[in-house]
Amino acid sequence: MKVSLLGTGRLGTALGKIWAEKGHVIMFGSQDPQKAKKLANSIGSNTSGGTYEEAAKFSDVIILAVPWSVAKETIKTAGDLNGKIIVDSTTTAAPHLGGPLIEITPSAAEKIAKWAVGGKVIKAVHTVGVESLNKLQFGSVQASLFVCGDYLDAKSKVKQLGLDLGFDVIDAGPLKNARLIEPLGMLWIELAYKQGMGTDIAFKLLRRRKAK
């Protein structure tokens, strides 16, 4: 699968490296295309870098891996996103972990869907720390990845990317349910930093299996 990552920070870098190792073809996009190219070269084959617009054109699956504060401008810079799958991984945390930057309704993902005209927005990859992406197995269970969106074909591809990362993937319904799962990102930040639990934590949905 071709995957573009808009953002070369810790999250975008970690996701790109893992997916490249899984055989996906990766392109990083950045305000500084030379930085994106340098990052791509450090990872190896089937990985490239360029501008936000070049990365958006490269693939049908685009990961928005930038801070919420620059999300709208990044989408604007990316150009035509009609028909593209856009994975919103933003967490609307205020500076110094002071609480959410926006109200829960509408969600950040719903706002992005309005900005990215014609795009298929999926909410995912916002409830776990970067440090855990290479170790999503906690004892006998895998960390859960909650995915929501209105397009089944788009969700199917994002779910596969989640499985490739090593998550237990949970379909959380339509995009409006981002209002329910986005606060989990804030809870993760609260527990990891303000409550001192550290970043090696994740959420898990437990199921009680019925006997056959």
**C-alpha separations of 7 from 47, 59, 144, 175, 191 in Å:** 14, 15, 24, 23, 25
What's the mean per-residue pLDDT of the chain? 93
Percent of the chain with pLDDT over 90: 86
Does position 105 have pLDDT exceeding 90, yes or no? no
- The pLDDT of 182-191, averaged and rounded, is 92
- The pLDDT of 71-75, averaged and rounded, is 97
Does position 151 have pLDDT exceeding 80, yes or no? yes
Helices (H), 44-151: 52-58, 71-78, 108-115
**C-alpha separations of 27 from 42, 62, 96, 156, 173 in Å:** 13, 9, 31, 21, 29
Please state the domain extents for the chain: 2-194
Q: Among the CATH numbers 3.30.9.10, 3.40.50.620, 3.30.1330.60, 3.40.50.720, which is that of 2-194?
A: 3.40.50.720
Q: Check residue 6 and give its pLDDT.
A: 98
Helices (H), 137-201: 152-165, 178-189
Q: Check residue 97 and give its pLDDT.
A: 54
Q: Check residue 92 and give its pLDDT.
A: 76
Of 8-12, 43-47, 75-79, the poorest mean pLDDT is in 43-47
pLDDT-derived band at 96, boundaries 50, 70, 90: low
Q: Check residue 211 and give its pLDDT.
A: 52
pLDDT-derived band at 209, boundaries 50, 70, 90: confident
Q: Are 62 and 54 in contact (CB under 8 A)?
A: no
Q: Which residues contact 93 (CB under 8 A, 6 or more apart)?
A: 68, 99, 100, 101, 185, 186, 189
Select from 193, 165, 186 the least CA-distant residue to 104: 186
Q: Check residue 106 and give its pLDDT.
A: 86
Q: Check residue 99 and give its pLDDT.
A: 54
Give 169's strand partners: 145
- The pLDDT of 117-139, averaged and rounded, is 96
- The pLDDT of 101-124, averaged and rounded, is 88
3-state DSSP assignment of residue 207: coil
